[in-house]
Each structure stands twice: as structure tokens, then as C-alpha cells.
């Protein structure tokens, strides 16, 4: 069975270099490493790229819709490729983790993350994998929503590239090793 890697983010140049687009950046890193190109999916507002890792087919996806309404698009792609929710990996930014920390989990709540809420609605279940990429909380009184939607400062661009690379590594580890072994490896690396 194939895997769907849902790289959560918002469409367009305005959001391309924001913390909220880390999920899409991870999907793009996986495609770059495999020398695959994204293309527009037919009849669904999603770009996809297909790659193979350890004998498994991965459908990398990034939506043309805003994160809070993209769940049905990802669910449509999963249905089109015969991928069950237990073979979906949502990659997303996480305020409650230190910058660059990676955590893996299966199922659970959405912790106020609108992209996860939309995915849960689209799939009709919270039972899918998550690769959580830490962005930390903003300093002072800055609104967290403003923080994740502002452009990443130039001084952090190299760090963010490393975070995306580590997120891609976590996706591959999850698929190759399973959740427990991947958690042991990834969670101990921070």
C-alpha cells in the first residue's frame, strides 16, 4: 500500500517562507532528494509528486487551499490513490516544541492546529500519523498566529533548511522502521 505525505502549509509566495509552511517544506525536501517534480493533480486542488522509499510508494502532497480548509483535498488524493488514513503522514509546524525538535505520533487531538482539524474532518478520523516540526513559541506578547505566518528571518533560513531535512528523515524513518523504532531514534536525537 502507498503512503500519503500531507505537507501542511498555505499556498502562494506570501506564505512560502513562513513557519506555518514547514510541512510543505518537508514534502518539498523529500521530492528534491528523490529528484521528483510536483505536478497539479487532476480535479483536486493539490500538487503531488510520487517517489519510492524502501520499496514503498510515497505520494507527496501540498494543497492549493489554505491549511484550515485543505483536509478534504488531502482526503480526495488519498481516496484516488487507495490510501487509508493509517497510511497518511501529516507533516506540520508545532508551537509547543522547541525550534527544530521533531516528534512523531499516531492519532490524538489537534491541539488547536487548524490544519490537523481540517485533516480530521476530511478523513473522518484523527487516526493518522503526524511528524511534528517544532517552531517554538513567540517571545513576549506576539500572537502565535502572527508568529507562524510571518516570514522566517534571514538569520534562521539555514536552520529552517536543517529542520526540513530532519523532518524528511523522520518521515523516512517512520515508514522504514515503524512508529516505535522511529520515535526511539528521532526523539532521542534532540
Q: Is 20 a catalytic residue?
A: yes
CA distance 129 to 85: 8
CA-closest candidate to residue 67, choices 182, 154, 149: 149
Question: DSSP class of residue 68?
Answer: G
Q: Which residue out of 20, 81, 92, 113 is catalytically annotated?
A: 20
CA distance 156 to 150: 13
Would you say 100 and 134 are in contact if contact means Cβ atoms under 8 Å apart? yes
Q: Which residues are known catalytic residues? A: 20
Amino acid at each position: 500500500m502507498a503512503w500519503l505525505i500531507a505537507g501542511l502549509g498555505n499556498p502562494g509566495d506570501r506564505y512560502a517562507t513562513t513557519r506555518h509552511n514547514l510541512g510543505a517544506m518537508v514534502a518539498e525536501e523529500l521530492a528534491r532528494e528523490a529528484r521528483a517534480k510536483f505536478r497539479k493533480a487532476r480535479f483536486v486542488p493539490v500538487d503531488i509528486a510520487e517517489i519510492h522509499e524502501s520499496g514503498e510508494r510515497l505520494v507527496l502532497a501540498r494543497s492549493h487551499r489554505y491549511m484550515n480548509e485543505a483536509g478534504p483535498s488531502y482526503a480526495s488524493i488519498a481516496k484516488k490513490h487507495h490510501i487509508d488514513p493509517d497510511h497518511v503522514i501529516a507533516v506540520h509546524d508545532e508551537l509547543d516544541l522547541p525550534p527544530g525538535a521533531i516528534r512523531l505520533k499516531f492519532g490524538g487531538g489537534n491541539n488547536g492546529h487548524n490544519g490537523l482539524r481540517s485533516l480530521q474532518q476530511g478523513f473522518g478520523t484523527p487516526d493518522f500519523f503526524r511528524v511534528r516540526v517544532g517552531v517554538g513559541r513567540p517571545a513576549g506578547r506576539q500572537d502565535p498566529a502572527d508568529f507562524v505566518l510571518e516570514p522566517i528571518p534571514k538569520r534562521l533560513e539555514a536552520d529552517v533548511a536543517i529542520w526540513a531535512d530532519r523532518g524528511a528523515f523522520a518521515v523516512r524513518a517512520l515508514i522504514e522502521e515503524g512508529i516505535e523504532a522511529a520515535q526511539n531514534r528521532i526523539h532521542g536525537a534532540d
